[in-house]
Amino acid sequence: MAKLYFRYGAMGSGKTRDIMKVWYNYKEKEKVAVIIKPVKDKKGENKIVSRDNNELDTDYLISSEDNLYLLICKHITENNLDCVLIDEAQFLERHHVEELTEVVDKLGITVMCYGLRADFQDNLFPGSEALFIYADVLEELKTICKCGEGATRNVRFEKGIPVFSGEQVAIDGIEGVSYESMCRSCRKKLVKKYSMQNNKKEDA
């Protein structure tokens, strides 16, 4: 039975590697899966790229205006399709997720979305929030913090300096931006440390 999945995890939890594994599993069984990612993700351009630099071509790059149900309907008029795989699903719009429920419910095609739960300020992304509402299956992909605890938070660095304010979207590896996954406790300590340092600069 077709379902809408949301597999989420912090940076470095292997989300893109899992997409690649699923894609190859379908291929080995002579099934067809398409890969979609939002155009907001500039990393790799028209490819999905894992942290160990493996790549796969995407079948579709989508913008905020695209209708995913219509896109898939058009695709299946000319092609077989067994599964839709979506990378960086946190960048989806709410209407995209609603359209994906139509792909599952009306077309009977399984959709597997992979993405971050929350941004570097601990706010839900629009796509993630919608997926928590609409997905049939929620699965967390695990990774660990440097301290050894489970990492659930994403900390943004700009040129090696942690930042806790700014635009919600800044792509890993572009313009000096990088991310590190941390547990809640370690993130709190880092926020406190840099808040104290900034207060001292202001008092000087």
Q: Tell me the H-state helices in 29-90.
A: 68-76
Name the token pair of 6: 């949301």
Q: 10 Å Cβ neighbour count for 95? A: 16
> Which is catalytic among the residues 55, 88, 158, 167?
88
What is the CB-side half-sphere exposure of residue 1 using CA atoms within 13 A? Answer: 3
Establish whether 88 is a catalytic residue. yes
Measure Cα distances from 137 to 54, 111, 134 in Å: 27, 10, 9
Other CB atoms closer than 10 Å to residue 84's CB: what's the count? 26
Query: How many angstroms from the chain centroid is the CA of residue 76?
Result: 25
Say if residues 106 and 133 touch (Cβ distance below 8 Å).
no
Q: For residue 85, give the nearest of 29, 156, 4 by alpha carbon.
A: 4
Strand partners, 6: 113, 138
CA 18-23-25 angle, 5° bins: 95
Enumerate the active-site residues.
88
